Structure 1
Amino acid sequence: MSEVVVDAFAAAHADGAFVLDVREPYEYVGGHVPGARLMPVGHVPAHLQDLPRDERIYVICASGNRSRGVTDLLRRAGFDAYSVIGGTSGWIGSGRPVVAGQHPNAA
């Protein structure tokens, strides 16, 4: 399994990493990592063509469970993907900022 701790993810995020939030829209609206693209877990298989193949994808959910499954799927499909351990809860718990409400990148 390819996973990354919140601190390593935060460093990548600061460098402009692609972040895929696989939670449901109501969860995303409640608070998400700035710049995260919403694609609920059930939509990912049908929208692989919408994801970048030329950069690493950091997959995040609420706690890390859903993101691990999506990361497995993406890696099998040839993507360079990593699940964020602890998810958005870990991000918030580490004192990092979140954005509430809709976001321009929301799908």
Structure 2
Amino acid sequence: LTATDLIQPYLFAADIPDGAVVLDCREPQHYEAWCWPGAERWDPVDLAERFPALDKTRRYILYCTLGLHSGYLAEAMQRAGYEAYSFKGGVRGLQAYAQSRGIPVATLQAR
């Protein structure tokens, strides 16, 4: 796989831009424990089957525990013409990003 194989020249995102739709691809119990504010939880299998119904004009940032499922799904979405990225580093990367922006991890939408 090379950059020319992808719709976007890169697969991973290191930030969450304003207006992006954030998709949490983790197990329900992890999502219930906490998620990025406003994140929508999607089962990875369901997302793989149903992402074609999502709005192609939006930007999507996906994350999962390690970044494996979200990387695979972001690549599939890119190949289908979506602007989709996997958050670099999975949940740990997301937590570091949150802390660098002054968002305490404990306040990440505790449920």
2-structure distance, mates of 1:77, 1:100? 33
Point out which structure has higher relative CO (alpha carbons under 8 A, 6+ apart). Answer: 1
Q: CA RMSD in A?
A: 1.6
1-structure distance, mates of 2:55, 2:23? 11
TM-score calculated relative to the size of structure 1: 0.77
1-structure distance, mates of 2:91, 2:54? 20
Paired residue secondary structure (1:72): helix
Query: Structure 1 vs Structure 2: percent identity of aligned residues?
Result: 29
Which of 28, 31, 37 aligns to 2:34? It is 31
1:59 aligned onto 2:78: no
* AA partner of residue 39 (structure 1): W
TM-score calculated relative to the size of structure 2: 0.75
Task: Output one character per residue of 1:55-96: Cα deviation in whole Å (capped at 9) or x when no partner.
Answer: 111111122121101111111222111110012222223423
Structure 2 gap segments, 5+ residues each:
1-9
Structure 1 gap segments, 5+ residues each:
102-107
Alignment length (residue pairs): 95
* AA partner of residue 43 (structure 1): D
Runs of 4+ off more than 6 Å: none
